[in-house]
A and B are shown apart, each in its own frame.
Chain A
Amino acid sequence: MKNVVALILAGGQGTRLGVLTEKIAKPAVQFGGKYRLIDFTLSNCVNSGIYKIGVLTQYKPHLLNQHIGIGKPWDLDRKDGGVTILQPYYTEKKGVWYNGTADAVYRNIEFVDDYNPEYVVILSGDHIYSMDYNELLDYHKAKSALATVACMEVPLSEASRFGIMVTDLENRIIEFQEKPKQPKSTLASLGIYVFQWSFIREVLIEDAKNDQSSHDFGKDIIPKIIQTERVFAFPFDGYWKDVGTIYSYWESNLELTRPIPPFNIHDENWRIYTHSKEMPPAYIADSTKVKNSLISEGCEIYGAVSNSVLAQGVEIGKGSVVKNSVIMSNVRIGENCYIENAIIAENVVIGDFVKIGVGEFAESKLNKKVYNSEITVIGMDSIIESKVEIGKNCVVGIDKIVNKNLNSGEYI
């Protein structure tokens, strides 16, 4: 894989994750206990033998930059290659933000040119999946393609959320519909592309000159190149998820706690690497019940936990009950609390006798598009004082102090 460069698009905000991405980029959101979303794609790269990686950042990149560092946890601290953070930069004339996915790659042509690769793989930093990119590349080569798009069959009801491919018998893409109202097929693009670098380089330069283009791979580049070039669909049938919404984020975390989870994080031959804190093993105290849960290092559990994912360094006090929830790192929950259907972000401190996720569902008063399930979300670094009761579908922002009850649907 010496002639491959991977570019990971990690600049998106992920607006539908609401308060979870208010302070950090979506690829930096914690997932599955000890990971952050970008770990899955980075691990796929190194497990596939790709060691030349650029991570394109834009939206609130601090935590992401800190997480990736020089890439040591992924063995990406290398003499040749390694990981490079590519942020928007100032040129002689003016500073420009990345204006679409294709534009972001266009602005880093020099970075890729330095490696002079034959292929470039364009990936997304916020998807959860295991894929051996060798298979994708072999397919690309076998088909003598100029571009290959990894695709997956999706249910017809969901097809309108994706870019949909229509292929011929040979799997060549003959038509592309971006988020169609009436999809012509159920073969969806996963936003994972392989290109012949010399080819896509010219296409990107051409596209940059076009004022009409929105400079997006899905909307502009793919529909354009399929008209004239050999572009193929690579069929992927493994687990793949874009945790775009609060509900799907919560659900795909909880899926990991099932007896046979759809996505296997325990695969010894496909380890997921991350930058984790050095912490002692989890301690589970007397008189506790921990069922169907993932518990990370550094947890101290004196209460009961079921169907939940706990990240590193979570403390749950005596008599507290945590159900169907995602608890991120260093959250401290006091004694005799009851927490259900919640996502609690990093470093939140919760007092004693607090209830979260109680009462009847009510529509969100903050944003119905983002908060539309029973899940209550508590933002980073907030404090919930003792005896506070918080209903369903509530939102607590970042760095807030909550000292009064919140009814379902309310926010602070």
Chain B
Amino acid sequence: MKVLGLILAGGKSENLGKLVYKRASAALPIAGKYRAIDFTLSNMVNSGIIKVGVLTQYNPRSLMDHLGSGKEWDLDRKKGGLFILQPYIGFSGEYWYKGTADAIFQNMTILRRGEEDYVLIGSGDHIYKMNYSDLYMYHFSKGADITLVTKELDDTYDISQYGSVVVDENMKITQFYEKVENPPTRRAFLGIYFINKHLLMELLYSTVPNGGNDLLLDVILPRLDELNVYAYDFKGYWRNIKKGIDEYFKINMDIINDRNVREELFYQNGKVYTKLKDFPPAKFTSNSEVINSIVADGSIISGSVKNSVLFRGTIVKAGAKIENSIIMQGTVIEEGAVVKNAILDKDCHVREGQVIIGEDELVVLEKRTII
């Protein structure tokens, strides 16, 4: 499969508030040991894509630190490998990425140089597991110019937040409604594109210099009539953390509460790879009471933990109570403290007896908060 993978990871995602003050949303820690981008990146690697470009712009430090040389994904390669594509100052000026199409346009070299015939464009914010080989075969068999991955969303999603797709009996896309109230279908576009490389290059050359900076709105949608754009139906679990803090929280809870989700995300279609941290196994002491939670390596638990996610190296001391919460790496909850309905970012410190309870909405503590 000669496919170039591109991951859009530059967005600001204001909906995530404090969680993205100091990181790109693609670098948001999730499910005890991962960062959001691990899912799309692992999907690509598991599907045999060995050349991946990650487009970054907003707060990239932690993302870059996480990706490193791409070693954890077997992307430290002589042929292919991982490319970080960041905005740069060129001979004729500075160019921040003005949109998704512009971002790819400015990195045309990676498209021009490779021997790949296809480009798969994904997002660093999506949590799902997918074997792209099926998508490749589908694209092929339909004779499509562009295939967009879509999913029939159930009513746990707010459909007005997604692009809605109308297809004919062959799954060819005839109409597209971007984020409208009461769209005609619940089939939503998942932000995953599969496209012939030379076509993409041509489209970008003819659109971006004329001010069209968005891949979907400016490049693809105006040409729905002239191009063969097909919808691929994805049936698995798919969520977008960018939709907000509640959505982010819900994904974590789905992973705790539903064994099928865990099974699908972590064991089907290959593994999810992430940066190794070499922590020892989690330790449960004689006072620990852990119910319905996921616990990562390096944690030491002496208190009670219920319906929560404990990231690597978290410490919950005796008498502390944690409920419905996400506790990120290196956070320490001292004796007798209570944390409920909260997200505690990395390296927070909750002192003895402190109480943090989210009543109507989740409490979010920024990285390194001391209470």
Contacts and interface: CB of A to CB of B under 8 A. Distances in A.
Given A278-B273, A284-B290, A284-B292, A294 B266 contact: no
Contacts of B286: 259, 291-292
Given A291-B286, A295-B281, A295-B284, A279 B266 contact: yes
B294 interface: yes
Contact of B297 (A259, A291, A297, A305): A297
A272 interface: yes
A271 B295 contact: no
16 contacts: A265-B280, A281-B31, A281-B294, A281-B312, A283-B259, A283-B294, A284-B294, A286-B291, A290-B284, A291-B286, A294-B281, A295-B284, A295-B295, A296-B281, A296-B282, A309-B281
A contact face: mostly helix, strand, loop, or mixed: loop
B84 to A, nearest CB: 22
B25 interface: no
A259 B285 contact: yes
A320 interface: no
A291 B33 CA distance: 23
A71 interface: no
A288 B280 contact: no
A287 interface: yes
Interface residues of B, number: 37
Interface string A297-334: 10010000100011100000000000000000000000
B94 interface: no
Interface string B19-34: 0000000000001110
Contact of B31 (A33, A272, A274, A280): A280
Contacts of A288: 290-291
A121 B212 CA distance: 65
B367 interface: no
Interface of A: 32-34, 73, 257, 259, 265-266, 271-274, 276, 278-297, 300, 305, 309-311
Contacts of A273: 278
Interface in B230-257: 256
B12 interface: no
Contacts of A32: 280-281
Contacts of A276: 276
A292 B272 contact: no
Contacts of A272: 278, 280
A33 B280 contact: yes
Contact of B33 (A257, A281, A293, A311): A281
A34 B291 contact: no
Interface string B288-306: 1111111111101000000
A119 to B, nearest CB: 28
A274, A292, A297: most-surrounded residue (chain B CB, <10 A)? A297
Contacts of B259: 283, 300
Given A278-B274, A279-B266, A280-B31, A290 B300 contact: no
A257 B311 CA distance: 20
A272 B276 CA distance: 13
A34, A73, A284, A311: most-surrounded residue (chain B CB, <10 A)? A284
Contacts of B256: 283
Contacts of A33: 280-281
A283 B282 CA distance: 11
B287 to A, nearest CB: 8
Given A280-B33, A284-B290, 4 more contacts: A278-B273, A282-B295, A289-B289, A297-B296
A292 B285 contact: yes
A286 B32 CA distance: 18
A293 B293 CA distance: 16
Given A286-B292, A295-B295, A297-B296, A280 B272 contact: yes
B300 A266 contact: yes
Contacts of A283: 256, 259, 262, 293-295
B31, B259, B297: most-surrounded residue (chain A CB, <10 A)? B297
A5 B262 CA distance: 45
A266 B282 CA distance: 10
Given A280-B272, A284-B291, A34 B296 contact: no
B276 to A, nearest CB: 8
Given A278-B274, A280-B33, A291-B284, A296 B297 contact: yes
The 5 closest A-B pairs by CB, nearest first: A281-B32, A33-B281, A281-B296, A296-B281, A265-B280
A297 B272 CA distance: 13
A284 B295 contact: yes
Given A259-B286, A290-B288, A281 B281 contact: no
B271 interface: yes
A294 B293 contact: no
B16 to A, nearest CB: 22
B121 to A, nearest CB: 25
B291 A278 contact: no
Contacts of B293: 283-284
A265 B282 CA distance: 11
B280 A266 contact: yes
Nearest to A284: B290
A311 B281 CA distance: 8
Contacts of B33: 280-281, 297
